Amino acid sequence: MRPSMLPRLAWGLVLVLGAASGCSRHKEAPAPAAGTPVTPPAEAAVAPAPLEPPLSYELRLGKQVFQHYCLTCHGETGAGDGFNAFNVEPHPRDLGDPAFQKAKVDADLKDTVRRGGVGVGLSSGMPPWGKTLTPDQIDQVVGYLRTLKRTDAPPAS
Amino acid sequence: MPLRRLFAITSILFFVVLAISPLKNALRPYRSIQREYARLGAARAKSQKVAEAYQARPVSIQQIWLPGLQNRVDRCMTCHLGAQDETMAGAPGVYRLHSRSFHTPKDFDRFGCTSCHGGQGLATLEEDAHGMAENAGTPMTPLPFIESGCGRCHLGEQVNGAAILTRGRMLMEKAGCFACHLVKGHEGFRSEAPPLESVALKTGGEALKRWLKDPKGLDGNASMPNFRLSDQDIEALTHFIFNTAPSKALADKVREAGAEKAGDAINGKKIFAEARCISCHTVEGKGNGSAPELSKVASRATQPWMLAYLRDPHAFNPRTRMPQFGFSAADTRDVVAYMVAEFKDFDAPPGMLDPVHVNQTLAEKGQKLFRLLGCTACHAASGEPDRIGPELNRIGDKRAASLDFGKRKDLKHTLPTWLQAKLEDPRSLGTGLKMPVYGLSPTDTQAVVTALLAYGAEPVPAQYQPVPAVRASLVPGGTVGALFDRYRCLSCHQIGDKGGDISTAPLTAEGSKVKKDWVIDYLVMSYTIRPILTDRMPVFRMTKAEATILAEAFETFYLDPSIPEDPFAGQPATSRDPIEGRHIFDTLGCKACHILGEKGGYFGPPLNEAGRRLKPGWTYTWLKGPQKWRADVRCPNYGLTDADALKLTSFLQTQVQKPAALKTAKGGGR
């Protein structure tokens, strides 16, 4: 018995050591300073909550596109009341109108943004943006348009 | 037999020890995540074949290895398998598809994950990889500051698509962070704060004390932060400042101005409006806001000083962005008379502008304090600024464990939280700290922290840095350079990669853009080109000779070789057809933004004078792709053919009406 025990012992040791080093391959594991208790990761503590924007990343990009290119005519809320709107005939579309939002699927809206009013048989006031915005930006801005839909009845004007 | 028993026990122990390692591997969280991913993928798959492919996926560690980018090894995909998988759009938690952005999904293999998000790429346990524990070595960047990742490669001021980062960088420049903190690329930064020696000529003891107490409280546009000085310190600094002797030349200028008779305030009001002071200043909040609010200025600055300063601002402060106006002596008297009558604090007690009787002991105390507080970083008369803050070059990778949170027990020990606290209330982190309070809003704090986190420890290799989109700045010397300096063109306009952001018209290719005769007229008597802009070109009272020198400089230096001088050269005669061009103008709907005749939107410049103002080559190049000129330009690219662009150009060249402002030969109204 005894002679066979030593090699087995040695073999076992080698395996254990090998396995242990295999386990700790991820180098630079976070080393908490001595005496600092490692707090369990709390969901709220990862990001400072008040700064977290309410819109998703894509919608925020869409909002940026909208505010840069569309707001001048369609207005902050998409109601068609941008500062450039009053002298423009026909008047820019009210994008918040629930009936309009319901009538158009995303593909229609993207097509209008891409090809402009003339492209879809409407007024030339709406320019074609297909060569200015990337397809991604058009997707994003149409995504953002959907957030502009008013839930209540439109105010009488 | 004890030996046998011992052997049995050790054998079992060895077996257990041996089993730990494979067991630990089998129970690694990523394995169950990968199995769940395969299940989700199969459930979402559109065809049987795809579903089977999901199910047949081997469970294994996934990684992106980037030897060229700081030798990164990112194994994030081991758990975040759905990040690149369109099928996983809208999937929950760890399985979801990465948001689409400028670099995703197309650049995953180029940049990996940690180059934008931070974290520990090699780790495969969530806690290690994300660095969620306090004082973790390489924590992930929290999402509100994620644009700092863009800033690691995009080193320029403006980063397209990263609005928070761009704002942060702009704020750092504006707040003057680089005056106290050394940052690579900003070594040459000099604050435009006035040199100390002219302050005693300008203001009085009481006014200065109020200013030192809370600069932004007195003037919302002030760039000087609040040093939270005690009343004793303010007293000592005031005595020191009034003990600093101004140069004889400046003192004489102010004394002579004080001996002049008072001007005509009614004429002054007209000139003030005509010169468009509020293109930089504000009056009761109305105006650009990059220069001081003027509505109470006469209670802060003496009349003789205002008069002398308006005549020669650069003698008092060589670093100011204020241009030199070509007003006559009587005109400046009138403007100052108007400002003294209207722009004062009617609630202020009398004697605000009385000088201080200097107490030498207090003045000496003030002098020490002045150096100790680091005032010289901004107010140095000349030479190298005295940077008292630590350099910020590697701040974005500083370990949280090496930061001093001092008295603040409420903060989580991470770098972003520390930076936020440092910006919001710098002194709260310990006693004896010198950084003043900037009073930033929460969003501005977020922006500055984002900009700071972008200063990484290791520079990104050159092939990962984008090529700057604008040409380097060229400002000639000699007569032209002197005129540029006198009228401070670069305070508002950009040339190449330098200049201010008040004007929307960079001068980099001005010579290829506008006609020489128009520029001369415009410089002598500028008027409104774009009605919606509130910040308009001031009327400098430039002479025609000076305007001609500048116009010739534009024609010589500021050209873009890609813009043809004559786009019609070698083109068929039909390309010059203005009637066809008019038709194209109507079909495209240009009138939605441009006024032509009486009608049209007013977002873009009216085109009634397009032929007087713009060169045909530039108009043609613009029409072929406005975004080549500036990426964020709102004029859409219509994808015009060469022939159509030429016809439209030829139509616009026929529009040569003179604007009303020039006919009456008066400046624009306020």
Residues 6+ apart with CB under 8 A from B232: none
Q: Is B73 helix (H, G, I), strand (E, B) or coil?
A: strand
| B660 burial level (CB within 10 Å; 0-12, 13-18, 19+) | exposed
Compute the nearest-CA separation of A56 from chain B (Å).
9
| Exposure string for B114-137, b = 16+ CB within 10 A, e = fewer | bbbbbbbbbbbeebbbbbbbbbbb
Q: Is the peptide bond before B390 cis (omega within 30 degrees of 0)?
A: no
Q: How far does the CA of residue A95 sit from the closest CA of chain B (Å)? A: 18
- CA torsion A122-A126-A130-A134 (nearest 10°) is -140
Amino acid at B86: E
Domain B478-557 architecture: Orthogonal Bundle (1.10)
Beta strands in B491-631 (DSSP E): 494-495, 498-499
Break chain B into its structural domains and give their ranges.
29-140, 163-189+388-464, 196-256+268-371, 478-557, 573-663
Chain A within 8 Å of B612 (Cβ-Cβ)?
no
Say whether B573-663 and B478-557 share the same fold. yes
Provide the Cα torsion B302, B315, B380, B242; round to 10°: -30
Per-residue pLDDT, B469: 64
pLDDT for the residue numbered B667: 41
Which residue is associated with the tokens 């670093």? B319
Establish, for the pair of chains A and B, how many residue pairs have beta carbons separated by less than 8 Å: 154
Q: What is the DSSP string of B111-169?
A: HTTHHHHBS-TT--SHHHHHT-STT-SSPBPPGGGTTHHHHHH--SS--TT-HHHHHHH
Report which DSSP code applies to B641. Answer: -
| Closest residue, chain A, to B22 (C-alpha) | A19
How far does A86 lie from chain B, in Å, by closest CA? 8
Count Cβ atoms below 10 Å from residue B25 Cβ, excluding itself. 12
Q: Is the Cα dihedral B210, B213, B217, B221 positive or negative?
A: positive
Residues across chain A: 157
Contacts of A1 in chain B (CB under 8 A): 4, 7
* Structural contact between residues B227 and B234, judged by C-beta atoms closer than 8 angstroms: no
> Can you tell me the distance from the alpha carbon of A154 to that of B547, in angstroms, rounded to the nearest whole number?
54
Whether ipTM tops 0.90, in short, is no
Instruction: Give which of B412, B417, B599 to mutate to test A binding, by max A Cβ within 10 Å.
Output: B412
Type of residue found at A47: A
Residue among B143, B68, B76 at smallest CA distance from B108: B76
CB atoms A20 and B21 under 8 Å? yes
Sequence-ordered strand ranges (E) for B373-509: 494-495, 498-499
Mind listing the pLDDT tens digit for each residue in B502-550? 888 889 899 999 999 999 999 999 888 888 888 889 999 999 999 999 9
Which two structure tokens, joined as six digits, stand for B426? 């710098």
Within 8 A by CB and 6+ apart from B214, the residues are B226
Q: How far is CA A29 from CA A12, B29, B130, in A?
A: 27, 17, 11
The domain made up of B196-256+268-371 is a member of CATH 3.40.50? no
Helix, coil or strand: residue B286:
strand
Query: Does A135 lie at the interface with B, CB-CB under 8 angstroms?
Result: no
Q: Which residue of A has its CA nearest to B100?
A: A58
Phi/psi of residue B406, each to 5°?
45, -125
Structural domains of chain A ordered from first start: 53-147 (1.10.760.10)
Give me A108's structure tokens.
């229609």
What is the Cα–Cα distance from B432 to B447, expressed in whole angstroms?
27
Q: Strands B286-287, B282-283: parallel, antiparallel or unpaired by DSSP? A: antiparallel
Residues of chain A with pLDDT under 70: 1-53, 152-157
Identify the bridge partners of residue B283 per DSSP, sorted by sequence position: B286
CATH T-level fold of B573-663: Cytochrome Bc1 Complex; Chain D, domain 2 (1.10.760)
Residues B589/A126, Cβ–Cβ less than 8 Å: yes
Q: CATH number for B163-189+388-464: choose from 3.40.50.300, 3.20.20.105, 3.40.1010.10, 2.60.40.420.
A: 2.60.40.420
Residues of B in contact with A25 (CB under 8 A): 122
Burial of B497 (0-12, 13-18, 19+ CB in 10 A): middle
Of A20, A36, A53, the CB nearest to B135: A36
Residue with tokens 């980063």: B159
Backbone angles phi and psi of B352, in degrees to 5: -60, -35
For B11, residues 6+ apart whose C-beta sits below 8 A from its C-beta are none
Please check whether residue B171 is in contact with residue B157, taking contact to mean a CB–CB distance below 8 angstroms: no
B197 three-class SS: helix
Please answer whether residues B439 and B225 qualify as being in contact, where contact means their C-beta atoms are separated by less than 8 angstroms.
yes
Token duo for residue B44:
């979402």
Question: Residues 51-110, chain A: which have Cβ within 8 Å of B?
Answer: 51-53, 56-58, 61, 64, 68-69, 72-73, 83-84, 87-88
- Separation between Cα atoms, residue B28 and residue A63, nearest integer Å: 41
> What's the helix, strand, coil split of chain B in %, to 5?
50, 5, 50
Contact call for residues B499 and B506 (beta carbons, < 8 A):
yes
- In degrees and rounded to multiples of 5, residue B65 shows phi and psi of -110, 125
Please, what is the Cα angle at A87 between A85 and A89, to 5 degrees?
85
Over residues B397-455, the pLDDT tens digits come to 999 989 989 888 899 889 999 999 999 999 888 888 899 999 999 999 999 999 999 99
Neighbours of B591 (CB within 10 A): 21
Q: Is A70 left (phi over 0), alpha (psi -120 to 50) or beta?
A: alpha
Residue B102 near residue B161, CB atoms below 8 Å: yes
Intervals of chain B under pLDDT 70: 1, 381-384, 468-472, 660-670
For residue B627, give the DSSP letter: G
Determine the 3-state secondary structure of B283 from DSSP. Answer: strand
Residues in chain B: 670
Smallest Cα–Cα separation from B464: which of B34, B71, B49, B14? B71
**B138–chain A Cβ distance below 8 A for any pair:** yes
Nearest CA in chain A to B124: A26
For B315, half-sphere exposure in the C-beta direction (CA atoms, 13 angstrom radius) is 18
